[in-house]
Amino acid sequence: MSLIILDRDGVINADSDRFIKSPEEWVPIPGSLTAISRLNQAGYRVVVATNQSGIARGLFDLATLNAIHQKMIDTISQQGGFIEAIFFCPHAREARCQCRKPGTGLFEEISQRYNMPLTGVPAIGDSLRDLVAADKMQAQPILVLTGKGKKTLEAGELPPTTQIHDNLHEAVKALLGKR
């Protein structure tokens, strides 16, 4: 079984500069849920690695984050998909922790949990920090142009092996076309 790592906000669901602070604010990006379902059907273990500094900022608590994630899991399930695990960093940038992307802590935890190196594992994100964390772990960085993706592309400085797709649906289509 193959593994794939997805960022949450801007990849699976619409992003907000004001943070996703409640289950009601979690709105899937069109096509993302069926893309996850397609990954599952193709034998992928789908995991999410997400920075959630809203906890450190006091914008929401762990119970609310769990409720947001439960809504995501339930909504994906209704489309026949499944998220196997969610890894998150609750710290603010100022904490300078290793788990906050572009640090590699979340990716290291995924590697340990699945007892495998992440070399070549697709890692899909919409921000430079997602791509840099993936690149540091030798995973395959994939940029989607949803969320902050267009700004990330315009800013440049992407890891040299970065693949670029319009959205999660198109990234999955390209990935599964290679199998």
d(C-alpha 134, C-alpha 125), whole Å:
9
Beta-carbon contacts of residue 68 (< 8 Å; ≥ 6 apart): 20, 22, 23, 25, 26, 60
Q: Out of 7, 15, 126, 130, which one is annotated catalytic?
A: 7
Q: Out of 9, 15, 126, 130, which one is annotated catalytic?
A: 9
Assess whether 7 carries a catalytic annotation. Answer: yes
DSSP letter assigned to residue 2: E
β-pairing, 44-51 vs 2-6, is parallel
Read off the amino acid at residue 60: F
Quote the tokens at residue 168: 């999660």
d(C-alpha 85, C-alpha 165), whole Å:
24
d(C-alpha 97, C-alpha 89), whole Å:
9
Enumerate the H helices of 22-146 as residue ranges: 32-41, 62-78, 105-113, 128-136
Residues in the chain: 179
Q: Is 58 left (phi over 0), alpha (psi -120 to 50) or beta?
A: left
Tell me the catalytic residues. Answer: 7, 9
